[in-house]
Structure 1
Amino acid sequence: MQPTDLDFFTLLSESYARLLGTPLVPGEENTPAEAARWLYEDAPFGVLAHDTQADPVFVYGNLRAQRLFGYTWNELTALPSRLSAEAPERSERQAFLEEVTRAGYVTGYRGVRVRKSRERFWIERATVWQLFDRDGVYRGQAAMIPHVTDIT
């Protein structure tokens, strides 16, 4: 998949709007291609998404998320999403993802994550939502990360 794949952008943005009642990308005057490019290249928040495998793997990470976690596109999209948290934090992360599964989405999430360099940081005020396509098929989960704080 390419970072600005229109089918995946549609899945991300329509799932978000359907669950939260607000657009993921501002500016309805944008074409889908322009909106997908903005989300990948210019969004001031990180967006990550993982698939539905038993051990989910990231399938999307915009440039902001890549910078936050210290991975390239190719590295990130080969990474099991559980590795974005350190081992002691993984059970808390899993419990949270199960809550998202039950509710459809959760806003205001805060949790410790780890960069490729092993530096730890807080993701704050994150929104995590279920990805369902137009046919109602579950495709994974996504997260929008508007704020981070380094742990020193």
Structure 2
Amino acid sequence: MQAHWTNPNVINWCQYLLDSYVHWTKLELMDRSGTLLTQAERLFNSAFVVASHGAEADPILNYGNQAALNLWAMDWQQFTQTPSRLTAESPNREERTRMLQQAKIQGYISNYRGIRISSTGKRFLVNQATIWNIHKPDGTAIGQGATFSNWKYLD
């Protein structure tokens, strides 16, 4: 089976994700040397978590690198069909919505902290996450991304 990060649509999405991260934070998320395919592979195999969702009314996850797939205990197919809100337990969804709205208004937020839940019910605390708006080069908003490398299981 072909790796998901080799799909041309995923390669394009990775570029929007990476370019938008630089736009808002003025920092590179990772080394951007090499081809677009090389960058997509590097992002997918990074040790830190990267996940994103689209701009739908009830956003669906549309990208998760291997670290994200492992953390949420899903394969690519499951992950990219999951409403983003389901990454948080019901009591934490309102706070999550407020955080995403704040990022939407400001462009990005850093040092986010919140509790998330995997597909198997494992709860974990995310620390020092950055959430940012993803847009096309023309400025069209197309989603939001999140990255973090600091989490701990709670159960």
- Deviation sequence 1:94-128 (CA, Å, 0-9, x none): 01101001110001111000011111100111000
TM-score by length of 2: 0.92
Which residue of 50, 66, 70 corresponds with 2:73?
A: 70
In 2: Cα distance, 1:39 partner to 1:46 partner:
9
Letter in 2 for 1:125: Q
1:35-114 to structure 2, matched below 5 A, reads 35-41=39-45, 43-114=46-117
In 2: Cα distance, 1:80 partner to 1:3 partner:
20
Asked if the contact 1:86/1:113 (under 8 Å) is kept, the reply is: yes
Which residue of 123, 126, 138 corresponds with 2:126?
A: 123
What is the Cα deviation at residue 6 of structure 1? 2.1
What is the SS of the residue equivalent to 1:140?
A: strand
Contiguous gaps of at least 5 residues in structure 2: none
Letter in 1 for 2:152: T
What is the SS of the residue equivalent to 2:119?
A: coil
Structure 1 range deviating more: 87-96 or 16-25: 16-25
Identity %: 32
Letter in 1 for 2:69: Q
Asked if the contact 2:54/2:144 (under 8 Å) is kept, the reply is: yes
In 1: Cα distance, 2:63 partner to 2:71 partner:
14
TM-score by length of 1: 0.94
Structure-1 residue corresponding to 2:37: 33
What is the SS of the residue equivalent to 1:139?
A: strand
Q: CA RMSD in A?
A: 1.0
What is the Cα deviation at residue 30 of structure 1? 2.3
In 1: Cα distance, 2:54 partner to 2:33 partner:
30
Letter in 1 for 2:131: V
What is the Cα deviation at residue 147 of structure 1? 1.1
> How many residues are paired up?
149
Contiguous gaps of at least 5 residues in structure 1: none
In 2: Cα distance, 1:115 partner to 1:25 partner:
25
In 1: Cα distance, 2:120 partner to 2:37 partner:
33
What is the Cα deviation at residue 45 of structure 1? 0.5
